[in-house]
């Protein structure tokens, strides 16, 4: 953990040697840490891009930075967050009010390198006790081969694919993420209440033939920064702003062309 004021880096102790933590996020206190942990009993196995490894979410409410102060008998120091029967849970994201977590998961074991995952949610704070919470599957894995003109083919990709996914501004309903269709990255919005998925088409940018690749570079409030490219075109950086992000909107209204303001970033001026 890096202390910005003190310019000091400290290691969080008390995590077992066979659990490799990744992608930590702070809780509502700014002190506790929620992270995904890859269970790696064999050191030489290595951490590579493939995600077919047992991975779960863990929470440390009060991290210990002094190894001598770690209480080995304190079984509640690190708490598993997602259900025990889930094989994969990664990239946790809080709503802004910290009432819900969304994460990419998979209940069954799998052999493929990049997935067919599920999008799951669970309530926060965790229930009393030291056991995991109950999760809800919002987007299920695709069990059948998608049609050639299908807009959504399921959740596929690697850690970097989902690293920018999150809830939109103050929304407790709309979650957006990147995923792959026929090897190309696309952007999708999920209504976590209605369990619906829609692809985001950027007016004047996204190819009608859906041949382009959309890579989510950064998110700030109601603004997405996206890199768009095609086989015959150089990459273009596009800024997409939502005029309204209200949870009163339907998913179709959220991604409708009249709710989007699009600008092509042809240069960057630093002040």
| pLDDT surpassing 80 at residue 128 | yes
Phi and psi angles of residue 39, each rounded to the nearest 5 degrees, phi first: -85, 110
Q: What is the pLDDT of residue 253?
A: 96
- Whether residue 198 contacts residue 192, with contact meaning beta carbons closer than 8 Å, is answered with no
- In angstroms, the CA 130 to CA 73 distance is 14
Q: What is the pLDDT of residue 270?
A: 64
pLDDT (tens digit per residue) in 100-120: 999 999 999 887 777 789 999
| pLDDT surpassing 60 at residue 49 | no
pTM of this prediction exceeds 0.85: yes
Share of residues in the chain with pLDDT > 70 (%): 94
Q: What is the DSSP letter of 30?
A: S
Burial label for 162, CB within 10 Å (0-12, 13-18, 19+), is: buried
Listed in sequence order, the residues at least 6 apart from 184 whose beta carbon sits closer than 8 Å to its beta carbon are 210, 211, 212, 213
Q: pLDDT confidence of 209, banded at 50, 70, 90?
A: low
Compute the half-sphere exposure of residue 194: CA atoms within 13 Å on the CB side of its CA: 13
- In angstroms, the CA 38 to CA 122 distance is 20
Q: Output the average pLDDT for the chain.
A: 89
Angle at alpha carbon of residue 162, lines to 39 and 256, rounded to 5°: 155
Listed in sequence order, the residues at least 6 apart from 225 whose beta carbon sits closer than 8 Å to its beta carbon are 216, 217, 218, 219, 237, 238, 239, 240, 265
Q: What is the pLDDT of residue 143?
A: 80
């Amino acid at each position: 953990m890096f202390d910005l004021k003190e310019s000091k880096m400290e290691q969080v102790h008390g995590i077992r040697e066979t659990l490799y933590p990744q992608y930590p996020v702070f809780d509502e206190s700014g002190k506790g840490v929620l992270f995904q942990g890859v269970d790696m009993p064999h050191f030489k196995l290595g951490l590579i891009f493939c995600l077919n490894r047992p991975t779960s979410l863990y929470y440390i409410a009060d991290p210990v930075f002094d190894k001598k102060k770690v209480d080995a008998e304190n079984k509640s120091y690190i708490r598993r967050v997602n259900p025990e029967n889930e094989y994969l849970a990664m990239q946790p994201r809080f709503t802004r009010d910290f009432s819900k977590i969304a994460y990419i998961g998979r209940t069954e074991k799998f052999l493929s390198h990049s997935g067919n995952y599920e999008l799951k949610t669970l309530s926060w704070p965790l229930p009393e006790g030291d056991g995991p919470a109950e999760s809800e599957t919002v987007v299920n894995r695709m069990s059948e081969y998608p049609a050639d003109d299908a807009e959504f083919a399921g959740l596929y990709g690697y850690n970097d694919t989902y690293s920018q996914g999150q809830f939109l501004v103050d929304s407790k309903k709309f979650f957006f993420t990147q995923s792959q269709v026929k090897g190309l990255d696309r952007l999708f919005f999920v209504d976590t209440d209605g369990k619906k998925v829609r692809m985001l088409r950027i007016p004047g940018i996204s190819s009608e033939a859906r041949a382009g690749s959309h890579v989510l570079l950064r998110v700030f409030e109601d603004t997405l920064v996206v890199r768009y490219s095609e086989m015959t075109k150089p990459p273009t950086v596009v800024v997409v702003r939502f005029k309204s992000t209200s949870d009163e909107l339907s998913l179709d209204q959220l991604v409708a062309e009249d709710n989007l303001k699009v600008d092509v970033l042809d240069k960057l001026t630093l002040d």
